Each structure stands twice: as C-alpha cells, then as structure tokens.
Structure 1
Amino acid sequence: MLDDLVVLELASVLAGPSVGQFFAELGATVLKVENPRTNGDVTRQWHAPDVDGDGHEDRSAYFCCCNHGKQSIALNLSTEAGQALLHELAEDADVVLASYRPGTAEALGADYETLSAVNPDLIYGHVTGYGPDRERAGYDAVIQAESGFMHMNGPADGPPTKLPVALMDVLAAHQLKEGLLVALLRRGQGSGGAYVPVSLLQSAVSGLANQATNWLVAGHSPQRMGSAHPNIAPYGTPYSTADDQSIVLAVGTDPQFAALCDVLGRPGLADDPRFATNAERVAHRDVLHAVLADRIRQFDHDALLADLHEHGVPVGTVRDVPTVFEQPAVEKTILDWADAPAGIRQTAFPHPEEAARALRPPPRYAEHTAAILHERLGCSPDRVDVLAQDDVIIR
C-alpha cells in the first residue's frame, strides 16, 4: 500500500514510534535512528518486573508494543559526521518522525528547517509536550494530570488516578497519523513538504470529548465517579453475577432499559417514574444501581449474558488482559514470531496481507546500521569501519 514510502524515525518511547509502526504495517520502509549515548530507544530497557532474561534483553515488552517492522541504525547526531549521514538519509526520505523537545533538534541538525533544505518535499511530524514554542518536556503522566484525565478518573471517594495506559501518547500518535496522511495527500496534489506539529496536551484535551463539552456547554465540571457515566445510566458500572464474574452494561436508550428489566424479571422498573427516562435514571442513579446490583447478583454470568444479548441489551464481561486475547475477534491484532518477541498491530482496519507478511520483528539495537549505510548511502566496509571507530555509529 505504501511500499514506496521511506520514513526516518527520530522519535522514541511511544507516540512517535507508534506512528512509525503504523507506516511499517502499511508497507513503508521505516528506519529507526537511535541514539548511541542512550543505548538506543530508552524503552528497550523498560522491562516488566517479572521478566528475567528471555533472550530479548534489548527488546523489552514495552519496546515491542510499537517497534515492529523497522530497521535500527545507531547514529550519533552530536557529531558532524553523524549529522551528515542523517542529511544523506533525509535526501531520499518522505517522512520524518521526531519527538525532540523544542530546541534539541536544531542542535542536532535534525530540525525541519535543516532537513527540508536538503529535501524540500519532506514531511516532518513533530511530537512535543506543549507545542513547538515551549521547551518544557512532555510526559504522559503529567499530561494526564494537566489535561483533566486524572482528576476525573478513580472512585468518587478516592484520589485522582492515572490511567493504566499512556493514553495521552496514544491520542497524540493518532493525531500525528492523521496530520501526516493529510500532508501526504496534499503533497500528492503538488503542495510540497510540510511541518506537522502535534502536542501531547492538545491531543489530550481533544480527547476529552463529551466531558469537555459538559463544561463548555452546560457549565458542569466533571468529577470522579468511578466507572459511572455522567450523562447515561446504567452505563459503565460493573456488576457482580452469582458466580462472581463482573459484567458492564451500556444502556443508552429507554427501549434497551426496558429490555434489561424484562430479562431481570423486573419489567415494572421501566415504568417507575424514577427510571422511565434516561434523565430520571441519571438523577436517581444510586437507587437504580442498588436495585440492579441486587437483581444481577441472582443470575449466573453465562446465562445472563446470553439472554441480554438475545434481547439487544449492550453488555460485556470485564476481562483481564490474558482473556482479552482469547477472543476470536482479537486474534488478528497479534504480531508474533517463533524466534522474536510478540506485539500488537497499530492498524485496526483491513489492508493488504502482503504488507503484514513482510513485516519484520522489532529490531535489535543497531541491528541494521551497516546494511543501511551500505545499501542506502553506498558506504564501503572501510568507511563503515572508520565511522564505528570514530564513535559516529554503533553496529
């Protein structure tokens, strides 16, 4: 699909690398430029506490979540020779992915102005914490705090709680993908290269969705309320069944609520003035929750879910991560090799299987340095030796 596209990934951690894997999954050549002074992408060493030397020491589970399909070149951009090699690579590149804090890229000769002078058609995607004009570094946990997510997350009587996934990075990655695809489309129409900045903070705020407009439109400041929904009930709160499994309802309409009441053997609840409409259910959510919790506790999980599904009531099981991957619909999201660590796809839509079959496992640190220099820049073995001796590259 994107077989002719060449992407230079100067980004690390999650947001930028997720975009790199996205392009790799669509067939692009993605060259991951890593920093020898940090032994590559810092996430290579972010092992889970129960991992004890699995033969993939420089490819942690975290690293493998967003680095499949790439080639790794270790290039010291603090040297003039390293910068010169980067500029040579940029001449034939289509997209650059960067996650430098403002000012750092300029010092390394890796900023948009410098690279676009080498290649005017280059599209440069830049992830920052707070925008290209603020030098402050961005970290997901801090952005979660500053964008309102932590304030809203957690039980009503508990403290602000961080989400268990770096969702601000994920949101920024999606924003960057969209911006880059638009820039590629416009370049195809003759507009040339482009600078595409995306900040973690703005991406996070754009993801506040209805919680933001609850404030902007209605003056309602969202507060912590566990898994309950501020605008809908019953929606999101877990309930325990007789066999101690947890389910979640997502009842968004009055007919769905009536069907739920029928299945639970309490059809009269749908006509109760306190519960007849969604607005009334939201106003009386605590009473409703107590009634539903008592009834659901009397049913076995499997039989109840089957009956609710048959009656069109939105419901699901609260799963842990291992059982998530037992679902047939999830199987195609898994990237796995016999001799390399597994990962998950960044693309959740169908695309030609040829690209998926050609996808590489996550690269070892500096695995492709010599090959990239030889095949893409025509460097001789002797020149590669000199570059290694001068600490310009790691191979």
Structure 2
Amino acid sequence: MTQPICKDMLVLELASVLAGPSVGQFFAELGAQVLKVENAATHGDVTRSWKLKSEPAELETPAYFCAANWGKTSLALNLTEPEQLQRLYELVKQADVVIASYKPGDAEKLQVDYSTLQQLNPRLIYGHITGYGPTDARAGYDAVVQAESGFMHLNGEPGSGPLKMPVALMDILTAHQLKEGLLVALLQRERTGKGQLVEVSLLQAAVSALANQATAYLVAGQEPQRMGSEHPNIVPYGSVYTCKCGKQLVLAVGDDRQFRRLCAILGAKSMGDDPKYKTNYARVQHRQEVNQQLRQLVAQHEREALLRQLQAQHVPAGAVHTIPEVFEQPQAQQMLLQHKGAKPGLRQVAFRLQGQEAPALTPPPAYAGAGNNL
C-alpha cells in the first residue's frame, strides 16, 4: 500500500456549517492536514450549537458538527486582531488549499480574500463558496436555495405544498462542485506551478443538478410538476408499493424486458404483453392504470420473498429502509469512520483508489483544541 495521496498537503478551512467543512473532511480522508480555523469571536462553527433535543447543552461536538469535521485540528482565531491575522498569514505561506465560505465582500474586509493571500503564496489554491456568486451579497442558506432553485417546488406529492428535502442537499451538491474545482486546480498547478481561485455558488450548483427536470423544460417545453416518487419519463420508476406484510418496496423498471419479467413474477404475464403497457411510452400514457394494477399485485406478496425473486431476475427493486436499517447493510458499514472512544463518523469519500492507504482519522475536534498550540 502507498501513502495517502494528500499526505503532505496542508488545507486551511475558513468555512462553517456543511458545504465547506465537508470539503475539508474530504481532504482529511485523503491524508491532508486540515486546520479548521474557527471564529474566536463567535465561539467557532455555528453548528457546534445545532444540537438535537437529546444532546446536552454543553456538548461541543454535537451530531450535526460531526457530519463534516472528522480528521481536523481546531484553531480559534479572531481575524480582526492584527496579531491573529498574521498568525493565519504564516500558515497561508505553507498551505496548499484554502476553503472559504464568506459573503461577497467579507473576505476582503477581513483581508483573507484570494487576491490578498495569493500574494503571500502564489501556489495557493483558494476555494470560495457563496450563496449566489461574487456579485450578489446575499448569504446562502440551504433551505432558501432549495426553494429558489425549484427543488422544493418539485418535491412532494401531487396536490401537496412545496417540501424541503430532509438533508441539506444544496450544501452537499455545492461541496461536490468545489471538490471537483479544487482537484482540477491542483492538476493545473502541477502543470503551471501557479495557484488558482475556484468559485462556486449554492444556487448554480443546485441549478446544475436539475438535470433531466431542467431539460424537460428547456428542450421539451414541458414544465415539471410535483409527482411524489414518480418519474416523468419512466413507469414504473421510483414508485413505492406496499406488500402483504405491510413493508414497502420501490421499483425502478428502466426497460420493457424488465417490465415483462416483473409481470411474470407477479403472476400477471398478460399484463406485460398488453399493448397498453408493453412499452415504456405506452406505460407513461397509462401511468395510473399501471400503478393501480401493480399495487394490487404487489400487495399479494411478502416483501423479502418478492425482492429475492425480482433480484434473481434482474428486475431493479429495493426495500424502503429506515436509517437504522440502512446501517445494517455491509456497504453502509464500510462508510463508517471508527475511532476508539468516539461515536462512528460518516465518510465523505465514497470512492476507492487502488493501492492507496486510507488514513485513520481523529474524531471531530473540540473547539480550538490543540490548534491554539500551533
């Protein structure tokens, strides 16, 4: 096994909440030294105060904070104080990457913007997250961007109101975009020796993720509407059905052969040959009829037995899991970060590099922690 690919890299995280910190943890999982520079004037990352009802008030590393802060060292600085700003500058001279999440103009006021820092270190790569881009001073909040990017409008059952998704998906999408930009900038630096400014906004990251829903409007001229779990182009795909045992499963039938196999397994072979349902195009036209018949057929089967039959015949289907059930799966167990005496964490890196050693990470740091001794 070789050493972690980012073993000799220093990353300074001038970011809080989820998007920026998850990028910091990403680099920590690849072996980088990540210093989480926290605002001493506000007692650090705001998510240290985002506690569940069951968590003690004095806890400095609540569950939300733990979602994106493994493998880091905390360093509390008040950047409005010249001595502490200079301390950051000394670190910048050694750093490879800075991750920032300031409103437009705020980094300049604090003198930690890319233009200032790259004068200290021309090889520095600076990743900056904003809500709406460098010319719009509004702060970015995931729930608001879910609304403004159309996700809330699309999410939910037909006839219901707009619905926020249960994870901060806009933050997560933005983090992925920033990771990609930073990796491209690192590649460019290998070729040119020069650093780079990488900018990404929550809104544009969200809009880019509208994918086929966007092109339904842009290309086909059809305005997407709220459909619950249904898919506008495929039937049955994403549909949820309740089995005899009361447990639920989802079907994701992507082609006509799979649909015929599904019908045969459900004891309704003639349905798979019916001209009204034989092709996906026809099934889209008769969506309600297809779903009504499938609901009746699936309700005659026990879920686990039916899933075994479907999977044996390569019909895409799966159980609707609770979160505890998710982590009973071996693949999910492989995504856990473990450390003696700490609750498990969740990996940001879901890929594997052949022959690369995954470093053991320390748990999320208490506020300031050993960082003040740097």
State the alpha-carbon separation in 2 of the partners of residues 290 and 106 from structure 1.
59
Within-5 A mapping of 1:347-366: 347-351=349-353, 354-357=357-360, 359-366=361-368
Deviation at 1:38, TM superposition (A): 1.4
State the Cα deviation string for residues 103-160 of structure 1 (Å, max 9, x = none).
Answer: 1111111110110111111000000000011111110001000101000000001000
Q: C-alpha deviations, 1:300-342, integer Å up to 9, x for none?
A: 0111001111111000000011110000111111112232232
Instruction: Tell me if structure 2 keeps the 8 A contact 1:64–1:342.
Output: no
Match of 1:331 among 330, 333, 339: 333
Q: Which residue of 2 aligns with 1:278?
A: 280
Match of 1:151 in 2: 153
Contact 1:64-1:341 within 8 A present in 2 as well: no
AA aligned to 2:358 is A
2:245 matches 1:246? no
Match of 1:257 among 256, 259, 268: 259
What is aligned with 1:183? Answer: 185
Confirm or deny that 1:34 pairs with 2:26: no
Matches within 5 A, 1:110-259: 110-259=112-261
TM-aligned CA deviation for residue 353 of structure 1: 6.4
2:29 alignment partner, one of 18, 25, 32: 25
Considering only aligned residues, what root-mean-square deviation do their CA atoms show, in Å?
Answer: 1.1
AA at the equivalent of 1:185: L
Task: Verify the 8 A CA contact 2:36 2:74 in the aligned structure 1.
Answer: yes
Q: d(CA) in 1 for partners of 2:264 and 2:54?
A: 47
Q: In the aligned structure 2, how far is the partner of 1:101 from the partner of 1:289?
A: 47
The secondary structure found in structure 1 opposite 2:127 is strand
Separation (CA, whole Å) in 2 of partners of 1:132 and 1:85 = 27
Report % sequence identity: 56
Question: How far apart are the structure 2 equivalents of 1:303 and 1:355?
Answer: 38
Letter in 2 for 1:278: N
1:355 alignment partner AA:
A
Could you tell me whether the CA contact under 8 Å between 1:61 and 1:341 is conserved in 2? no
What secondary structure sits across from 2:137 in the alignment?
coil
**Contact 1:32 1:72 (8 Å CA) reproduced:** yes
Question: Secondary structure at the residue paired with 1:189?
Answer: helix
Number of the residue aligned with 1:94: 96
State the shift of 1:349 in Å: 1.0
- Among 5, 11, 14, the alignment partner of 2:9 is 5
Contact 2:76/2:372, CA 8 A, preserved across alignment: no
Identify the residue that residue 318 of structure 1 maps to in structure 2. 320
Question: Following the alignment from structure 1 to structure 2, what is the Cα–Cα distance between the partners of residues 370 and 214?
Answer: 53
State the match for 1:380 in structure 2: none
Q: Would you say the 8 A contact 1:59–1:341 is kept in 2?
A: no
Task: State the one-letter code of the partner of 1:6.
Answer: L
* Counterpart Cα distance in 2 of 1:100 and 1:342: 30
After superposition, the Cα gap between the structure-2 partners of 1:3 and 1:78, relative to the gap in structure 1 and judged at 3 Å, is same
- Give SS of 1:364's match: coil
Aligned to 1:391: none
Counterpart of 1:37, as a letter, is A
Contact 2:339/2:362 (<8 A) preserved: no
Instruction: Give 3-state SS (helix, strand or coil) of 2:192's partner.
Output: coil
What SS class does the counterpart of residue 292 from structure 2 fall into? helix
**What is the identity, as a one-letter code, of the residue corresponding to 1:20?**
G
SS in 2 for 1:221: coil
Q: Which residue in the other structure is 2:270 paired with?
A: 268
- What TM-score results when the alignment is normalised by the length of structure 2? 0.97
- Identify the residue that residue 44 of structure 1 maps to in structure 2: 48
1:14 and 2:24 are equivalent in the alignment: no
**Contact kept in structure 1, 2:14 and 2:37, CA below 8 Å:** yes
1:234-278 per-position Cα deviation (integer Å, ceiling 9, x unaligned): 010110000000000000100000000000000011111211110
CA distance in 2, matches of 1:47, 1:284: 47
CA distance in 1, matches of 2:60, 2:171: 22
* Conserved 8 A contact 1:129-1:199: yes
Query: In the alignment, what sits opposite 1:76?
Result: 78
CA distance in 2, matches of 1:331, 1:182: 30
Q: Which amino acid aligns with 2:321?
A: R
- Residue range with higher mean Cα deviation, 271-280 or 57-66: 271-280
Deviation per CA, 1:348-394: give whole Å up to 9, x if none.
Answer: 0114664332x11111100022332xxxxxxxxxxxxxxxxxxxxxx
